[in-house]
Chain A
Amino acid sequence: MMKIKFKIAAAVLIILLFALLNFAPVRGEIRNIFYLISNPAQKWLWQRGASISILFQALSDNKVLIKENEDQKKKIQELLTENEALKEVKKENESLRTALNLGLEKEFNLEMADIIGKEISKDSVVIDRGLGDGLTVGMPLITVQKVLVGKIEKVYQNYSSIQLLTAEESSFAVQISGEDIYGLAKGKGALGLTVERIPREKEIKIGDQIFTSVLAGDFPRGLLVGEISEIKKSDVESFQKGEVKVSFDIGQLDTVFIIKDFKK
């Protein structure tokens, strides 16, 4: 009898404890404390994991690498030709940039942050900047190459949780290859992304690059999202869709930039 009473009391205590832990201010504080304690170890482990994974990846992707190598050689030939033409454009672009002072830091008010961990079972990462650095929920994140990574989902005092653009809850308007083709990018989870709602009559190709459009709402326009890797077109549907290979590699990503001055 006593044993049963003890078990019931323990169960009630556990339920009460979890109810208290989920009380909004306490929940944020609890996670913040754990992230604060584990920050150095987590950062170190993340960096070690990243460097070791390169070796693993090279071993497991050997066949893919050989094929990729052949494709790359062909591409290099094409690119060398293109490069000559682009050099001229680059010169012109550089002089224009200098003249207009259009660096990334001029375009946006940025805050640099390091990725210190990934949340289990979600397309979400943790960065070492939080409320104390002026971050708020919804701020977009980019890489130094101006590639969209995601947006801030939750902010703690010293840390923030980032919803990657591949998360299942993520959807935003995109534009394809700077042309007049618009679609809706939707996260699939597990680092997958699709672009839907592309009118069937519009011509899209594998390799077409995708950028955030002016209709994106949550993100500034013109940020690189990825490139189309597969097209799904059906005669009976009025829209076509495509699989997207995102332009950032989460395994190799250490540093990101938060756009602090973006207003929807």
Chain B
Amino acid sequence: MMKRILFTILFFYFLALLQTSFFVHFSKFFPNLIFLTVISINLLESQKENFGVFAALAGGFFWDIYSGYFIGLFTLISLFTSLFIKLFVKNYLQLSFNKT
């Protein structure tokens, strides 16, 4: 579990680095990868798991660090997105790749 947490933190740190430096030059082709990853993790994990919420916190934090707004804004946005997927999308929508 600890390994998974550490990996997630490092993953989002490097993703934020890439997003703010490398992918700036390809912004026409690439959307915000941090937000996209948070959404994907939450959609793909099973209903019983809560790791997506942690991923949203980690992703949002690094998104905040490398943005000019107050720290916490994007953490809240990704956290609410994660909760929205967990509480609404998964309860009311039948997703073929995640039926558990």
A residues whose Cβ falls under 8 Å from a Cβ of B: 14, 18, 21-22, 27, 30-31, 34, 38, 41-43, 45-46, 48-50, 52-53, 56, 60, 116-122, 124, 126, 153-154, 161, 250-251
Contact = CB atoms under 8 A, between A and B. Distances in A.
Main secondary structure of the interface of B (DSSP, over half): helix
B80 to A, nearest CB: 13
A50 B25 contact: yes
A27 B66 CA distance: 12
B57 interface: yes
Given A38-B17, A49-B26, A119-B20, 14 more contacts: A21-B71, A22-B72, A27-B70, A34-B66, A45-B17, A46-B22, A46-B24, A49-B22, A49-B23, A118-B21, A118-B24, A120-B32, A120-B63, A121-B32
B66 A120 contact: yes
- The number of chain B residues touching the other chain, given as a range, is 20 to 34
Nearest to A56: B26
Interface string B6-26: 000000000011111111111
A207 B37 CA distance: 43
Contacts of B26: 49, 53, 56
Contacts of B98: none
Contact of A14 (B22, B34, B57, B66): B57
Contact of B20 (A22, A56, A117): A117
